[in-house]
Structure 1
Amino acid sequence: MLLDTALHQAAGLHSYTPQQDLRLLAVLSQPGSGPWLEMLWQLCSSLQRLGYPVVVLDGTALESPHMPGLDQLLHPAPWNGAQTLASATGASLAVVPAARGLARLAQQSEHHGATVLQRLQPLFRAYALVVLHAPPEQLAPLLRGSASVPLIMTGPGAQGMVRSYRQLKHMALHAGVRCTVASILAPQEPVQHRQTAEALDTLQRSARTHLGLQVHTTTVAAARAQDIQRLALQLLENACTIDAAMPLLPPHSLCASLSPLDRSH
């Protein structure tokens, strides 16, 4: 898969008029090896085939003078060569380094909440979907009060379920949002349908008992295009819209429904 990692797909978008609203998806990044990045690209490709031009703001990649990204786009003054980017059409998948830029927005969100994400709308209005791919510590302040339902990917069986629970808890405590958990079955791994189902059931019970959350879980076979498209459509359903009046959750809608969180779990 060819990915546009440079800013020629992410800057110079001010001259492009969108045909649809800009939607926001959130995918929590995962440490260590695993099929997470490959699944992310497949999900984005599936969304593109459905007619939604996608830009990924990669919070695991640092911006630099040689690889500019979101941090540079957030500055009011353009950088050298920015005028050559005006021909961007949003027709292909763009991947933009965004670690520093998302950290800046997260800091601003302490005073402005999820409304800081409105700053992304004029920058990426050539696209239909913005995917935030970052660790939970970076995503939580940005999504606080939003209607987004982030995606957490984990491995089959009991692998990664403890980490998934910790990420669920972090997003509930610090953002007040629910997450969807998808267990990814890599093609080279032996099928573990029963073990995976049991592990996901345990995760759901733990989230319900200790966090007061009803968590949606699913299993995705990385080699099955139908599974990938199904998860992509679920992501689309869980997206929120970025515009001048980005929808927010009612002040007490989720937080009031959470049972007192047991911080020992």
Structure 2
Amino acid sequence: MHDVPLNQAIGLMGLGATQSPQLLAMVSHGDLRHEQPLLWQLGNALTQLGYGVTVLDGTVAETEQNPGLQQLLDFQFGHGVVESDAPEWNVLPAALGLQTLCALGMRPTHSLLRLAQTFQTNGVVVLYAGVDVLVKLLGHTDARPLLSVSSEKGSLMTTYLALKRLLRNGRIEPTILNMMDKDTDGRGDLGVAKALSECARNFLNYEVQALRIDPTQKESLLDMDMRRLATRLLENALPLRSQGSGNAGFDSSGYRELGRSH
């Protein structure tokens, strides 16, 4: 990964988070063995940077016994989510609520505005969902969702298909992360990442610039890498600004009519 200076200033980044919630995204493409620990580590890294975090888990549906995003949209729309004084993070089931947001229209403006009104005071909202949901909600924006690849069986195929749909259907360029597998000391993942790069170059005319994190390294080094990753994702986060915050709605500066050329 590119080095990001880790000093006291980075710890202050979260001070302004409550003024404008930041939206990050992570692709769920079936590699739960690596995706869920990565999501947990990312949430911890964001709290270390001073942000309160809410993860909207699009892989789990809301129920009466386990309410989540849909209940917030139904009953607390416009009231926001209240944070405590100390940074913390929560995970909310969100499959049904995300379907509701997807149904609001093709452009992301309306659905993201409603999301902004629901999370007015939260520092970072992490959208963890399948590629089709991300394309509908974030298509043609400058969002760069995190897409991880590992040596898990089938990971190369599911990662490639997710990348293809992000690029072609949503004009979205993800942040690709190569997670080295503990069981193979990283040797297997290097081959998978190389194969992904070759497939993307040959069939999508796209050059993959994958970051890499080694989960087998010392905990202090791993934490540092995760903070670097979190900082990089925050650089490309979408600001969620509701009408009540003095803006015209979702910050449309992040919206692109045309995607980047590949």
User: TM-score, with normalisation over the residues of structure 2?
Assistant: 0.78
Classify the secondary structure of the residue corresponding to 2:88. coil
2:162 aligns with one of 162, 167, 176:
167
Q: Give aligned-pair identity as a percent.
A: 28
1:104-253 pair list within 5 angstroms: 104-110=100-106, 112-156=107-151, 160-187=155-182, 189-193=183-187, 195-223=188-216, 224-243=222-241, 244=249, 245-253=251-259
Gapped runs of 5+ residues in structure 1?
1-16, 259-265
Structure richer in helix, relative to its length:
2
**2:156, 2:192 within 8 Å by CA — same for their partners in 1?**
yes
Deviations 1:186-235 (A, max 9, x none): 44x12134x53343233223223322333321221224222222222222
1:89 aligns with one of 84, 91, 101:
84
1:172 CA displacement: 1.3
Q: Alpha carbons of 1:252 and 1:88: their partners in 2 closer, same or farther (altered >3 Å)?
A: closer
Q: Report the Cα distance in structure 2 between the residues aligned to 1:120 and 1:70, rounded to whole angstroms.
A: 9
Q: Alpha carbons of 1:109 and 1:215: their partners in 2 closer, same or farther (altered >3 Å)?
A: farther
Deviations 1:101-158 (A, max 9, x none): 0011112132x43441121112112211110001112211111121100111121388
Q: Report the Cα distance in structure 1 between the residues aligned to 2:178 and 2:31, rounded to whole angstroms.
A: 16
**2:55, 2:128 within 8 Å by CA — same for their partners in 1?**
yes
User: TM-score, with normalisation over the residues of structure 1?
Assistant: 0.78
**1:42, 1:228 within 8 Å by CA — same for their partners in 2?**
yes
Aligned residue type for 2:212: T
Classify the secondary structure of the residue corresponding to 2:102. helix
Q: Alpha carbons of 1:237 and 1:214: their partners in 2 closer, same or farther (altered >3 Å)?
A: farther
- RMSD of aligned residue pairs (Cα, Å): 2.6
**1:221, 1:228 within 8 Å by CA — same for their partners in 2?**
no
Q: Report the Cα distance in structure 2 between the residues aligned to 1:69 and 1:33, rounded to whole angstroms.
A: 21
Gapped runs of 5+ residues in structure 2?
1-15, 217-221, 242-248
Deviations 1:156-201 (A, max 9, x none): 38861121111000111221101122122244x12134x5334323
